[in-house]
Amino acid sequence: MRWTPKPTPEKEKIEQLAKELQVNKTIAKILCQRNIDTFERAKKFFRPSLEDLHNPFLMKDMDVAVNRIEDAISNNENILIYGDYDVDGTTAVSLVSSYLKTITPNIATYIPDRYVEGYGVSYAGIDFAQDNDFSLIIALDCGIKAIEKVAYANEKNIDFIICDHHKPGDEIPDAIAVLNPKRVDCSYPFNELCGCGVGFKLIQALGLKRNQTIEDFLPYLDLVATAIAADIVPMNDENRVLAYFGLQVINQNPRNGIKAIIHQIKKKELTITDVVFIIAPRINAAGRMKHGNYAVELLTEMDFDSAIEFAAAIEIFNADRKDLDKKITNEALIQIIDNEEEQRFTTVVYQENWHKGVIGIVASRLTETYYRPTLVFTKSGDKLAASARSVKGFDVYNALQECAEFIEQFGGHKYAAGLTLLPENYENFKNKFEEVVSKTIDKELLTPEIAIDAEIELSEITPKFFRIIQQMAPFGPQNMKPVFKSICVRDNGYGKQVGVDKIHLKLNVFQGDNKKNYNAIGFNLGDKIEVVQNDFDIVYSLDENEWNGYKSIQLILKDLK
């Protein structure tokens, strides 16, 4: 791994902030690195306020969208809430549909079938709307590239409101309203909302028309926080406020569906990391293994006992998903080794019977193993479908754009995308993708990097220091948990490999003459046991360890040398 210190901000700025906030210079330095370099900014950061949320009407087309929905309500029209089958899509559909149902009963939801219809707006979904007398479709977390589909709906006199956050193409669909902060002609102050976040701005705007206050929308924030965590969008500005208050709702008074999931795992206080690794995969598992409708039904269920039943079914889907992704990952690794493709700049693998629902997870696992842009293909109808994942710093979406001649359709973000192509184009695409990446990627990016916030002495880690670090949560992109480096530490001689197959490393470290020991755990670092015989350097983050009711600060090792 590359250990890269983050640039040090101006010394005067650090000293000034340390003085104003009455914190030590390490804390002040970490804040300045995150552009929190004045007392005012620090106050906003440490004390998130719902008043810091932007006016939803600053988003282009918001007034048009609200007026069209109000007309539909007045005219007793049927409204179809349509969304993608992942966490962001299903939470967004649950959010908008449950809010609109408080105003009108003429609301139904639609999640496309991952295997039959594929990603995004589908012709089948529009036909369903026509057959069931829906005159307005609100599409969430999808639709920004659905030019032909929206034109098809227009022919059938079905209006579209699109709420999306994916990169728009050169042409915008001819919908009644297109809400997307990434639109070039949209001047909304924050363009990193997730799909559910855009849906939240829509219901917030509808609420303003009804003289509702932001407090009226607090109960919906458990869904928004879950989507923010699952979609790995930047944890700053509006996202941080929504996630901060959403976590409070998750921990104090969540909706029945989320409560039922928490009830199953029996965990007391959830952090944003728990939402990413515990709640999100279970919601996702419904769409991956069965149908996204299961997730929407769970998240909108009003009866707790029924929610418990849904959660139990989803728990089984999630267990099946884990087995499947392990099996497919192993098959993909064998394929890479057998074809001697370890030396390439990309990983592209294909097997026609791989489960479409888990290829995204498998792509992530392969990226962790080989650390390079990765695509996992499977057969989908008469086409091949793939999930793409990238390494930090490389835009896989742009790379796919360069291969457009061989692709039927694609969409996504810088680090994650999906695409379909015809089987006869697979080899040409694979070669072109390798060529594009090999020419454009900075070779340094093929070695994982650990960005280090600060080098500190272990003695700096006091309860107060740790408390302030904890107050910087929720963590996520643009506001990652701080990573520290300490040099010339020693193990007290009791360091050992732990866990099944001894893959983890448990140490008790101290530094210099200060004989105070710090517990340290290094997940998947068991093979580094040899390093700890003499002095060594460590990079780590801080966490709280609870054992038999006793809480202590623990170092979570990222690497050691």
Residues 105 and 73: their CA atoms lie apart, in Å, by 9
Residues 557 and 240: their CA atoms lie apart, in Å, by 26
Token reading at 374: 């990765």
Q: What are phi and psi of 395, to 5 degrees?
A: -90, 100
**pLDDT score for 69:** 98
End-to-end CA distance of the chain: 10
56-313 carries CATH number 3.30.365.10: no
Alpha-carbon distances, residue 299 vs 90, 92, 114, 315 (angstroms) = 8, 10, 19, 14
339-446 carries CATH number 3.30.460.20: no
Print the SS3 string covering 219-267: HHHHHHHHHHHHHCCCCCHHHHHHHHHHHHHHHHCCCHHHHHHHHHHCC
Sign of the Cα torsion 205, 206, 210, 212 reads negative
Residues 308 and 265: their CA atoms lie apart, in Å, by 12
Per-residue pLDDT of the chain (561 residues; tens, 9 = 90+): 999 999 999 999 999 999 999 999 999 999 999 999 999 999 999 999 999 999 999 999 999 999 999 999 999 999 999 998 889 999 999 999 999 999 999 999 999 987 788 788 999 999 999 999 999 999 999 999 999 999 999 999 999 999 999 989 899 999 999 999 999 999 999 999 999 999 999 999 999 999 999 999 999 999 999 999 998 899 999 999 999 999 999 999 999 999 999 988 877 789 999 999 889 989 988 777 678 888 999 999 999 999 999 888 888 888 888 899 999 999 999 998 887 766 789 999 999 999 988 899 999 999 999 999 999 999 998 999 999 999 999 999 999 999 999 999 888 888 889 999 999 999 999 999 999 999 999 999 999 999 999 999 999 999 999 999 999 999 999 999 999 999 999 998 888 999 988 999 999 999 988 778 999 999 999 999 999 989 999 999 999 988 888 889 999 999 999
Spatial CA neighbour of 190 closest among 227, 241, 224, 239: 239
Sign of the Cα torsion 325, 412, 121, 423 reads negative
39: Cβ contacts below 8 Å, ≥ 6 apart: 17, 20, 21
**pLDDT score for 342:** 67
Q: Are 537 and 487 in contact (CB under 8 A)?
A: yes
Q: Which fold has domain 2-7+451-560?
A: OB fold (Dihydrolipoamide Acetyltransferase, E2P) (2.40.50)
104: Cβ contacts below 8 Å, ≥ 6 apart: 73, 76, 79
Domain boundaries, the chain: 2-7+451-560, 56-313, 339-446
Token reading at 8: 């040090």
